[in-house]
């Protein structure tokens, strides 16, 4: 069951990573505007950074540990 959860998590992470690059390639015309907005700290950009950590042999029972940090930044 744990291996299945890890596999599903990895597949979801790959899907997010590859989907983001496909969207970035479609928006080549707006790349300059996006770069300018990214430099502006008051811009209305919504970001969703993800950080995934996987450790083998964690804790006193040598268990597997998967941690997914989601840190959304939503200006209001």
- pLDDT tens-digit map of 16-51: 665 555 555 555 667 777 777 777 767 677 888 999
Query: What is the pLDDT, as a whole number, of residue 6?
Result: 64
Tally of domains in the chain? 1
Does residue 8 belong to any structural domain of this protein? yes
- Token pair belonging to 38: 């990214």
Does residue 45 belong to any structural domain of this protein? yes
End-to-end CA distance of the chain: 40
Domain of 22, in residue numbers? 2-70
Query: What is the pLDDT, as a whole number, of residue 33?
Result: 79
Per-residue pLDDT band for 54 (boundaries 50, 70, 90) equals very high
Does residue 29 belong to any structural domain of this protein? yes
Give the residue ranges of DSSP H helices in 1-76. 2-26, 31-39
Which has more confidence, 54 or 59?
A: 54
Q: Are 73 and 54 in contact (CB under 8 A)?
A: no
Asked whether the predicted pLDDT for residue 76 surpasses 80, the reply is: no
Q: What's the whole-model pTM score?
A: 0.42
Does residue 75 belong to any structural domain of this protein? no
The whole-chain average pLDDT of the chain stands at 75
Q: How far apart are CA 76 and CA 62, in angstroms?
A: 43
């Amino acid at each position: 069951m744990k291996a299945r959860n890890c596999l599903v998590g990895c597949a979801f992470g790959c899907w997010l990573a590859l989907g983001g690059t496909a969207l970035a390639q479609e928006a080549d015309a707006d790349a300059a505007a996006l770069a300018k907005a990214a430099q502006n700290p008051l811009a209305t950009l919504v970001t969703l950074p993800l950080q995934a950590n996987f450790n083998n042999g964690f804790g006193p029972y040598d268990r597997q540990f998967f941690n997914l940090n989601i840190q959304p930044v939503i200006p209001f």
